[in-house]
Amino acid sequence: MPIQISDIDKKVLAKLASMTEQFDNILTQMNDPVIASNPTEITRLSKEHGKLKAMVEQYHKYQDLSNQFNQAEEMLEDPEMAEMAQEEIAELEPAIMETINTAKETLVMSDDAAIDSVIVEIRAGTGGDEAALFAGNLFTMYTNFCEKQGWKVEGLGYSASEMGGYRDISFGVKGPGVWQALGYEGGGHRVQRVPETESQGRIHTSAATVAVLPEPEEVDINIPKADVVEHVCRSNGPGGQSVNTTSSAIKLEHVPTGITVSMQDEKSQHKNRQKAWRILRSRVYEKYMSEKNAERAEARKSMIGSGDRSQRIRTYNFPQNRVTDHRINLSLYNLDKVIMGEIATLIQGLVDYDKQQRLENL
């Protein structure tokens, strides 16, 4: 008797079949000498190929298991083979369903899994010096976590606070799965604790905002230089002789969107320009992608990972050693470890919840 497959599973299998055909077409194009000699086009196709590979492998596995299942069913008509066929069917049926479920999860998370480079921006919010210290705590938390994953972290720019910490800081992270993990960190983070400067022992509430931006490559987004106005000036603030006496600071303004980026951390104008372009490209890409996905906004209201800075996503309560993620109502009583980078449990809870929401909205 054929395996009963739900309508959603049939829809998923149809998508996977289409993706397999697309995958084969990409391979054909990549073997074309004309395309192979075009670095931009071959890079684009290689990325698309890599994105589809995991889903195509699951579909091929499903096809192989289904063929074996059909052969076993045919063997049922042979009395001598019927018992062995029944045993095979008993093993193949759950294996097929497991493969379909894995394929569904791979499909709904594939876009996130394909992004292996992000830019993280942390800004102190309400709370003055204490908010800047908290922004510094978040920076340490994320960089420690990233290092444990073996991801590459690169500082891009910062504005330090006089009392310690940062008014704002940005850094890049590269490695497999970075967006799938860090993409949920965008939003408002709140801290409750007694500041070191508080003589009465009163608990203060401060805040910081985090933005996590997918970092596109130039093949993903084309920003004409004519759309960007560049300003060059001397750097401000402390930094010694060369920082303040040479015109090394760069400010880029993307005229169509009004997005601006300033960079002055490096002594080299060239390095500041490179970093500013990376951040500008990410911000413009994120804006365009948000607009492109606006039609799905209603369906995603119940989902997480929107990255809206105005949304309070997490509270860090030091007196109770508690961290609470408000999106999934998850509280952990190991804040001392979380703030040092042990955030895997929080992230996994968010991934699991988001995955379930996406499956329900297929």
What's the number of domains the chain is made of? 3
- List pLDDT tens digits, range 307-330: 455 678 999 999 999 999 999 999
What amino acid occupies position 324? T
Q: Give the pTM.
A: 0.77
308 and 201 part of one domain: yes
Whether the pLDDT of residue 348 is over 60: the answer is yes
Task: Tell me if 253 is assigned to some domain.
Answer: yes
pLDDT given for residue 148 in this prediction: 96
Q: Which of 266, 292, 318 is the last residue of a domain?
A: 292
- List pLDDT tens digits, range 200-231: 778 999 999 999 988 877 656 778 888 999 98
Task: Tell me if 130 is assigned to some domain.
Answer: yes
253 and 339 part of one domain: no
Using CA atoms, how far apart are residues 172 and 2, in angstroms rounded to an integer? 50
347 and 210 part of one domain: yes
Which residues lie closer than 8 Å to 288 by C-beta, 6 or more apart? 221
Task: Tell me if 198 is assigned to some domain.
Answer: yes
136 and 270 part of one domain: no
Mean pLDDT, residues 91-97: 93
pLDDT given for residue 4 in this prediction: 78
Q: Which of 51, 78, 108 is the last residue of a domain?
A: 108
pLDDT given for residue 120 in this prediction: 94
Q: Which of 52, 83, 108 is the last residue of a domain?
A: 108
- What percent of the chain lies above the pLDDT cut of 70? 89
Give the CATH number for residue 143. Answer: 3.30.70.1660
**Beta strands 204-214; 117-124: pairing state:** antiparallel
145 and 165 part of one domain: yes
17 and 147 part of one domain: no
Q: Which domain holds residue 333?
A: 114-216+304-360
Cα distances from 250 to residues 64, 122, 137, 217, 230, in angstroms, run 57, 20, 28, 21, 7
Average pLDDT, the chain: 86
Using CA atoms, how far apart are residues 143 and 207, in angstroms rounded to an integer? 19
Which position has the higher pLDDT, 136 or 296? 136
169 and 275 part of one domain: no
119 and 232 part of one domain: no
Task: Tell me if 123 is assigned to some domain.
Answer: yes
Give the CATH number for residue 283. Answer: 3.30.160.20
206 and 341 part of one domain: yes
pLDDT given for residue 210 in this prediction: 94
Task: Tell me if 76 is assigned to some domain.
Answer: yes
Q: Which tokens hold the place of 353? A: 């919840």
Residue with token string 């149809």:
14
Task: Tell me if 2 is assigned to some domain.
Answer: no
HEC profile for 202-265?
Answer: CCEEEEEEEEEEECCCCCCCCCCHHHEEEEEECCCCCCHHHHHHCCCEEEEEECCCCEEEEECC
Mean pLDDT, residues 264-282: 87
pLDDT given for residue 115 in this prediction: 85
Task: Tell me if 24 is assigned to some domain.
Answer: yes
- What percent of the chain lies above the pLDDT cut of 90? 48
pLDDT given for residue 296 in this prediction: 44
274 and 348 part of one domain: no
Partnered with residue 205 across adjacent β-strands are 192
189 and 309 part of one domain: yes
309 and 178 part of one domain: yes
Q: How confident is the model at residue 362 (pLDDT cuts 50, 70, 90)?
A: confident
Highest mean pLDDT, choosing among 82-96, 136-150, 222-236, 343-357: 136-150
Give the CATH number for residue 93. Answer: 1.20.58
